[in-house]
Structure 1
Amino acid sequence: MTGKTHIIGGIAACVVTSRFTAYDPLLLTTAGIFGSLLPDICHGGSKIGRKVPFLSKIVSTLFGHRTFTHSLLFLFLIQVLLSLFHLPDGITAGVLVGAASHLLLDAATKNGIKLLYPFQMTFRLPLTVRTGGPAENGILAVLVLLIVYFGQGIM
């Protein structure tokens, strides 16, 4: 998926999450936007990879694309690292929800993800789309509708 779809996906996931939790919606969603981009640190051409090219190059060299940073192990590591900083729960939850939305969206692509890294099994959803293709625009539209529907009255 493209960066814009990941951002909108992260926002949608956080808006839905905020409807069913006591997290501050603005804090959760702001952190979720960051989290929705974080797994692509392994790709130098991604939105986050272009912001921190040195780190992106290291991660890409060590792991490649859609492996470690697109896994449950990565989500667990994020949770552990963020817990060391004693941040408000909404920030940690937002980053994790955003990152999880990224994994779900990339599992909907033909290339899939290595969800159980270091095991090399590729996970993909039963219906997949081509990144940047017309079907991705349909997914983007559905995500926007979710934001509008679940976002009513949360602020």
Structure 2
Amino acid sequence: MMARTHIAFAALMMVACSVGILQRMPQVHEVALAGAAGLLPDLDHPKSTFGRIVPYISIPIAKIFGHRGFTHSLLMVAVIIWLLLTYREEQKIPILPLVIGYLSHIIGDLLTPSGVPLLWPVRKKFSLNLFKADGWMEHLIYRGCWMGVGYFVWVALQRPGHELLHPAQVAIQQWLWQALSHSMIILVQWVRIMA
């Protein structure tokens, strides 16, 4: 996945977890933090967004572990959770957005052909191979993630403007049903002609 898609996916995961599981709207800083954490696993790539910011961290990690190595594993997620819980009281670190953002990156890369070594130090990479990075499907996912964030915000705000949108929604549904019915009639006629 590309950096912007990782940010969008992490933001969607943060909003979805907050609204869907915690039953609350996330704070803006939580969504932003999750989006930033969605880029952290790529610290193992010196040309990544964070890699260019902190090359003195990124270059050694890349030399030792390579790209999509240790930083893309469940072991690293466990290390991050342990570190955050250990230092939480002293620093008042918001754990949930960081973990959700980090984990969303690993899930996102799991969907691409390159995959991720979930069980590192075992080098086997797991991949669902659903789409190529920076392909048309990823561009669609990127837009879908931001639409999803908008939807969850709309639901969390108790669907403002729903009364105004309802007539348009009904009209669109009726039009779609009519179009579907018409298409079925044409399909049946076409099958009869071909038979």
Instruction: Could you tell me which runs of 5 or more consecutive residues in structure 1 were left unpaired when the two chains were aligned.
Output: none
Q: How has the CA–CA distance of structure 1 residues 75 and 23 changed in structure 2, closer, same or farther, with 3 Å as cutoff? A: farther
Which residue number in structure 2 is paired with residue 14 of structure 1? Answer: 14
Higher relative contact order (CA 8 A, sep 6+): 1
2:109 to 106, 111, 134: 106
**TM-score normalised by structure 2 residue count:** 0.73
| Residues matched between the structures, number | 153
**Percent identity of equivalent pairs:** 30
Distance across 2 between alignment mates of 1:146 and 1:88: 29
Aligned to 1:45: 47
The normalised TM-score by structure 1 is 0.91
The Cα shift of 1:5 comes to 0.4
Structure 2 counterpart of 1:65: 67
Tell me if 1:120 matches 2:123: yes
Q: Within 1, Cα distance between the matches of 2:7 and 2:26?
A: 19
Question: Does the residue aligned with 2:71 lie in a helix, a strand or coil?
Answer: helix
- In structure 2, C-alpha distance between the alignment counterparts of 1:146 and 1:113, rounded to whole Å: 25
Structure 2 unmatched ranges of 5 or more: 158-195
How well do the aligned residues superpose, as a CA RMSD in angstroms?
Answer: 1.8
- Offset at 1:153? 5.6
Partner secondary structure for residue 84 of structure 1: helix
Larger Rg: 2
Answer whether contact 2:15 2:25 (CA < 8 A) is retained: no
**When you count helix as a share of all residues, which structure comes out higher?**
2
